[in-house]
């Protein structure tokens, strides 16, 4: 039925009217018609209110959502394109209803820590992106002088690590480095994103697991080696510096619910602090992870079921602002599944394209409403990346990035559903509810019921 109603050819020079009984706007889920002219949404009007002359896209009861924004993705190109790449990552994004990606400044070579590296990334992306994208710059030890030029060159903000990142070319920073960086960034208005774990508690815990005291095939050993305190100590330090420098600070991939009281207090004091958690922390729980299943390895680690439910509570309460994927793949052999050792396997969960059905399934099971999705996966990450009002929202003036979503489809994740480069993911076998039917980028259909249409139309969104 959908293919019949949508069979009209795409013609962006004409008005298009996307009509559904369930349209997710900032006001919630309601029947509406989204009017699109060219690349933009010009109006959201009543369901029955379709002007004559517009191409009617009647979506029936499928949900119409804003194109999703994922601000935490490791595309790894240039330099590690054998891990992932612009073509594969952005195709996976389009298939999952994600129309904007913001690329992390590491695992690519060179790391995006100066303007030369940013230009190399732009050259690598040219003509390959199926969705729009932007770049985070990196704050590393010793690159303070590169920060302002990177800001002027259009990065969306900056990312740093408070612990070894796993990549020697992306050096972690201590309090002194952070102070220097925040001084330089103070006038830019750009956010500083931080991997919030410090080394002290991790080193101490790992030392306690030395020799035959830790069986590194067991998930519980990995979990014990990355204690909550590594996160809470890092977040306490970051909040202190946020208070001092008033630089917008963003905690990436919050895993430990024990940090929530610190975050609540900082919010009460009006600090410019935002927080994300990731799909895998909201979906999986430590109790369910098999020993040796290193496709689940990530840092901070996936913690217990009670912790997961506390993260859901914080998301509902607005203490956690957004949900990202932290899609961070590697060649399957680097996961060393044959050994199944958590200390030697490469870390990172691959999931790009699955977040919407994963979150919707989790929401449905908890009896929650769909309304939060638009903010968690659209408007809030768009604000972080300086794209407020332009991306991640169905409202007049925004780019016509749209997702047509069948909320009732049920399916089991198989390798054929993974569109990123390597078909290894901790979500294989997951039973999900909801499926992306179509994805539209700036008024053009780029994904249609399992097929990508046309050619890569994605652009870089350099921050003004
Ligand atoms: Zn990451």
CATH of the domain at 327: 3.20.20.140
Query: Based on the domain organization, do 166 and 73 belong to the same domain?
Result: yes
**192 alpha carbon – ligand 1 mean position (Å):** 14
- The token duo for 212 is 């035959």
Query: Based on the domain organization, do 255 and 301 belong to the same domain?
Result: yes
423 falls within a domain? no
Query: Based on the domain organization, do 139 and 287 belong to the same domain?
Result: yes
Query: Based on the domain organization, do 93 and 9 belong to the same domain?
Result: no
CATH of the domain at 33: 2.30.40.10
Query: Based on the domain organization, do 33 and 120 belong to the same domain?
Result: no
- 71 three-class SS: strand
90 falls within a domain? yes
Query: Based on the domain organization, do 448 and 357 belong to the same domain?
Result: no
pLDDT tens column, 58-78? 999 999 999 999 999 999 999
The CA distance from 335 to 58, in Å, is 45
- Helix/strand/coil percent split, the chain, to 5: 35, 25, 45
pLDDT tens column, 182-225? 999 999 999 999 999 999 999 999 999 998 889 999 999 999 99
Output the pTM of the full model.
0.96
% of the chain at pLDDT higher than 70: 97
Q: Are 129 and 91 in contact (CB under 8 A)?
A: no
92 falls within a domain? yes
Query: Based on the domain organization, do 324 and 336 belong to the same domain?
Result: yes
pLDDT tens column, 230-263? 999 999 999 999 999 999 999 999 999 999 999 9
Closest CA to 362 of 291, 418, 309, 424: 309
58 falls within a domain? yes
The CA distance from 302 to 222, in Å, is 10
- The token duo for 14 is 């004409």
Give residue 208's pLDDT: 95
Q: Where are the alpha helices (DSSP H) in 162-227?
A: 175-185, 199-208, 219-225
Q: How many domains does the chain have?
A: 2
Query: Based on the domain organization, do 97 and 57 belong to the same domain?
Result: no
**419 alpha carbon – ligand 1 mean position (Å):** 19
Closest CA to 279 of 354, 369, 329, 345: 354
Query: Based on the domain organization, do 137 and 27 belong to the same domain?
Result: no
For range 50-64, the mean pLDDT: 95
**278 alpha carbon – ligand 1 mean position (Å):** 10
148 falls within a domain? yes
Alpha-carbon Rg for the chain, nearest whole angstrom, is: 21
418 falls within a domain? no
Q: Where are the alpha helices (DSSP H) in 375-420?
A: 380-384
**342 alpha carbon – ligand 1 mean position (Å):** 18
Q: Which residue is associated with the tokens 């780019």?
A: 399
**349 alpha carbon – ligand 1 mean position (Å):** 9
For range 421-432, the mean pLDDT: 97
For range 305-324, the mean pLDDT: 98
**145 alpha carbon – ligand 1 mean position (Å):** 24
Closest CA to 398 of 24, 53, 2: 24
Give residue 2's pLDDT: 40
Query: Based on the domain organization, do 176 and 203 belong to the same domain?
Result: yes
pLDDT tens column, 122-154? 999 999 999 999 999 999 999 999 999 999 999
Q: Give me the sign of the Cα torsion angle 273, 274, 278, 283.
A: positive
**33 alpha carbon – ligand 1 mean position (Å):** 37
Query: Based on the domain organization, do 77 and 47 belong to the same domain?
Result: no
463 falls within a domain? no
**355 alpha carbon – ligand 1 mean position (Å):** 15
Query: Based on the domain organization, do 87 and 211 belong to the same domain?
Result: yes
Q: What single-letter DSSP state applies at residue 375?
A: I
β-pairing, 137-138 vs 158-161, is parallel
**180 alpha carbon – ligand 1 mean position (Å):** 23
Domain range enclosing 6: 2-65+398-409+434-452
The CA distance from 459 to 100, in Å, is 9
Give residue 1's pLDDT: 32
The CA distance from 292 to 296, in Å, is 9
**71 alpha carbon – ligand 1 mean position (Å):** 10
pLDDT at 5 over 50: no
422 falls within a domain? no
Q: Mean pLDDT over all residues of the chain?
A: 95
- The token duo for 90 is 């952005």
pLDDT tens column, 165-183? 999 999 999 999 999 999 9
The CA distance from 118 to 130, in Å, is 19
Which residues have C-beta under 5 Å from ligand 1, the single-atom ion? 326
**160 alpha carbon – ligand 1 mean position (Å):** 10
């Amino acid at each position: 039925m959908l293919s019949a109603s949508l069979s009209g050819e795409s013609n962006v020079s004409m008005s298009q009217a996307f009509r559904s009984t369930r349209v997710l706007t900032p006001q919630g889920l309601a029947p509406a018609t989204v009017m699109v002219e060219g690349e933009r949404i010009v109006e959201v009007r009543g369901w029955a209110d379709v002007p004559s002359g517009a191409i009617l896209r009647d979506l029936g009861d499928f949900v119409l959502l804003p194109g999703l924004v994922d601000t935490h993705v490791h595309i790894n190109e240039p330099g590690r394109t054998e891990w992932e790449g612009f073509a594969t990552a952005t195709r996976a994004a389009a298939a999952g209803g994600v129309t904007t990606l913001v690329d992390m400044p590491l695992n690519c070579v060179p790391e995006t820590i100066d303007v030369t590296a940013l230009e190399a990334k732009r050259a690598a992306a040219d003509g390959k992106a199926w969705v729009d994208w932007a770049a985070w710059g990196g704050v590393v030890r010793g690159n303070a002088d590169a920060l302002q030029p990177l800001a002027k060159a259009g990065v969306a903000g900056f990312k740093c690590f408070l612990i070894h990142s796993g990549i020697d070319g992306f050096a972690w920073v201590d309090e002194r480095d952070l102070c220097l960086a925040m001084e330089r960034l103070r006038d830019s208005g750009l956010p500083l994103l931080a991997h919030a774990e410090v080394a002290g508690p991790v080193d101490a815990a790992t030392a306690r697991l030395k020799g035959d005291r830790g069986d590194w095939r067991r998930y519980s050993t990995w979990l014990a080696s990355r204690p909550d305190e590594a996160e809470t100590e890092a977040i306490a330090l970051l909040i202190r510096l946020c208070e001092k420098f008033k630089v917008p600070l963003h905690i990436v991939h919050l895993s430990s619910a024990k940090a929530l009281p610190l975050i609540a207090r900082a919010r009460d004091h009006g600090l410019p602090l935002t927080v994300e958690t990731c799909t895998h922390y909201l979906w999986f729980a430590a109790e369910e992870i098999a020993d040796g299943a290193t496709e689940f390895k990530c840092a901070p680690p996936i913690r217990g079921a009670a912790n997961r439910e506390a993260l859901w509570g914080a998301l509902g309460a607005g203490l956690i602002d957004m949900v990202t994927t932290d899609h961070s793949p590697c060649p399957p052999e680097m996961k060393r599944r044959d050994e199944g050792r958590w200390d030697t396997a490469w870390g990172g969960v691959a999931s790009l394209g699955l977040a919407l059905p994963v979150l919707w399934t989790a929401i449905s099971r908890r009896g929650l409403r769909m309304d939060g999705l638009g903010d968690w996966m659209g408007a809030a990450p768009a604000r972080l990346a300086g794209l407020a009002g332009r991306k991640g929202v169905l409202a007049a003036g925004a780019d016509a990035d749209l997702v047509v979503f069948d909320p009732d489809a049920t399916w089991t994740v198989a390798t054929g559903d993974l569109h990123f480069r390597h078909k290894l993911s901790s979500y294989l076998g997951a039973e999900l509810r909801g499926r992306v039917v179509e994805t539209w980028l700036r008024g053009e259909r780029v994904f249609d019921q399992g097929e990508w249409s046309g050619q890569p139309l994605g652009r870089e969104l350099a921050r003004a």
